């Protein structure tokens, strides 16, 4: 006993058309032009006010911020590790030591990366006292410490323009993320291990993979414009019988109690894992 039958389709279409534009009352979508005008004006004023308020709060907030040092560093108490070159896909190096094209990308990335470490770029940098944190809190003009490319030895790209890739001893640069004010304790150094024993021999430049404390702390990009991160080059001398095999390597930062390297979730906090596979 339905009270009224369903409205025929035609009628509901007509109702819709009536709603979209009603020629009798001049209503468009249920409102006349004047009504639309008024309501749009209202919302214009309303949102204008809100936007102004928002802009003003943002402005006030930015005024309270220092352009040198972030207010808080709650999420970055400990730095992540990263390597260069960084393969596009996952951290997996695939190259053929006899095919220059297969590693051209890595080489050019390294070259480009090391450009900023070139002596010519470091003219303003000073030689700091090794082994000591270089505190410049009281100095307005923060100096950057010089990082000599020669410390990277065979991985500096000076002698071997292919960074060892052509010889089966590829170089990977390990660096620590910049965090303002971070002062590592102890004597931090990078240590890389391969899961599989005997497949690869690992050399570090500077020796022992040490990261000198004199490059810390970092004072932020505006105060510390010429700052250069200390680098550790890891040279992987792949055994000739291990070519064509995938070698998993994990690098960690050790020797510093305040640099985390065992976080459950963050696989890049104080450590990094990558794979190398070399063919002939």
Q: Are 189 and 210 in contact (CB under 8 A)?
A: yes
CB of 261 to other proteins, least distance (A): 12
Phi, psi of 149 (to 5 degrees): -60, -30
- Is 164 within 8 Å of 170 (Cβ atoms)? yes
Binding mask 32-51 for other proteins (x = CB under 8 A): ------xx--xx--xx--x-
Q: How many residues bind other proteins (CB under 8 A)?
A: 51
Q: In the complex, what is the shortest distance from the CB of residue 13 to other proteins, in angstroms, rounded to a whole number?
A: 16
- Asked if 28 interacts with other proteins (CB under 8 A), we say no
Separation of alpha carbons 109 and 87, rounded Å: 10
- Smallest separation (angstroms) from other proteins to the CB of 36: 12
Whole-angstrom distance, CA of residue 159 vs CA of residue 162: 9
Can you tell me which of 18, 96, 136, 177 binds other proteins, judged by CB under 8 A? Answer: 177
Single out the residue of 8, 61, 240, 257 in contact with other proteins (rule: CB under 8 A): 61
218 binds other proteins (CB under 8 A): yes
- Report, in Å, the least distance between residue 158 CB and other proteins: 25
Interacting residue with other proteins among 178, 194, 206, 233 (CB under 8 A): 178
Integer Cα distance of 261 and 77 in angstroms: 12
CA angle, residues 26, 9, 28, in degrees to nearest 5:
15
Neighbouring residues of 263: CB distance < 8 A, sequence distance ≥ 6: 78, 269, 270
3-state secondary structure of 52: helix
Can you tell me which of 33, 45, 58, 100 binds other proteins, judged by CB under 8 A? 58
Q: Least distance (Å) from other proteins to the CB of residue 81?
A: 8
Nearer to other proteins, 21 or 42 (CB): 42
CA 214 to chain centre: 23
Could you tell me whether strands 21-22 and 92-96 are parallel, antiparallel, or unpaired per DSSP bridges?
unpaired
Closest by CA to 259, choosing from 81, 94, 78, 95, is 78
- For the bound state, the minimum distance from the C-beta of residue 57 to other proteins, rounded and expressed in Å, comes to 5
Q: CB 124 → other proteins: shortest distance, Å?
A: 17
Answer for which of 8, 29, 63, 75 binds other proteins (CB under 8 A) is 75
| Gyration radius from the chain CA atoms | 31
Q: CA-CA distance, 279 to 73, in Å (whole number)?
A: 44
Q: Please give the residue ranges that form the binding site for other proteins (CB under 8 A).
A: 1-3, 38-39, 42-43, 46-47, 50, 53-54, 57-58, 61-62, 65, 68-76, 79-82, 86, 89-91, 177-180, 218, 220-222, 224, 227, 263, 265-269, 272
């Amino acid at each position: 006993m339905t009270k009224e039958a369903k409205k025929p389709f035609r009628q509901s279409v007509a109702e819709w058309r009536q709603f979209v534009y009603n020629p009798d009352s001049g209503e468009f979508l249920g409102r006349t032009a004047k009504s639309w005008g008024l309501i749009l004006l209202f919302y214009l004023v309303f949102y204008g006010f809100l936007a102004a308020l928002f802009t003003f709060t943002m402005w006030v907030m930015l005024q309270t911020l220092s352009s040198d040092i972030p207010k808080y560093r709650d999420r970055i108490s400990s730095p992540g590790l990263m390597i260069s070159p960084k393969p596009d896909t996952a951290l997996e190096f695939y190259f053929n030591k006899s095919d220059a094209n297969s590693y051209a990308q890595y080489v050019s990335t390294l070259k480009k990366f090391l450009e900023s470490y070139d002596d010519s770029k470091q003219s303003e940098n000073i030689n700091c006292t090794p082994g000591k944190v270089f505190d410049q809190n009281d100095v307005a003009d923060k100096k950057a410490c010089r990082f000599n490319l020669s410390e990277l030895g065979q991985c500096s790209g000076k002698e071997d323009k292919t960074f060892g890739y052509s010889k089966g001893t590829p170089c990977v640069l390990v660096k620590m993320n910049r965090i303002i004010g971070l002062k590592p304790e102890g004597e931090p150094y990078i240590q890389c291990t391969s899961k599989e024993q005997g497949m690869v021999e690992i050399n570090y430049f500077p020796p022992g993979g040490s990261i000198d404390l004199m490059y810390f702390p970092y004072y932020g990009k505006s105060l510390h414009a010429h700052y250069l991160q200390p680098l550790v080059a890891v040279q992987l001398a792949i055994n000739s019988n291990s070519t064509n095999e995938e070698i998993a390597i994990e690098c960690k930062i050790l020797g510093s109690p305040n640099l985390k390297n065992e976080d459950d979730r963050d696989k890049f906090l104080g450590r990094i894992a990558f794979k190398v596979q070399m063919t002939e």
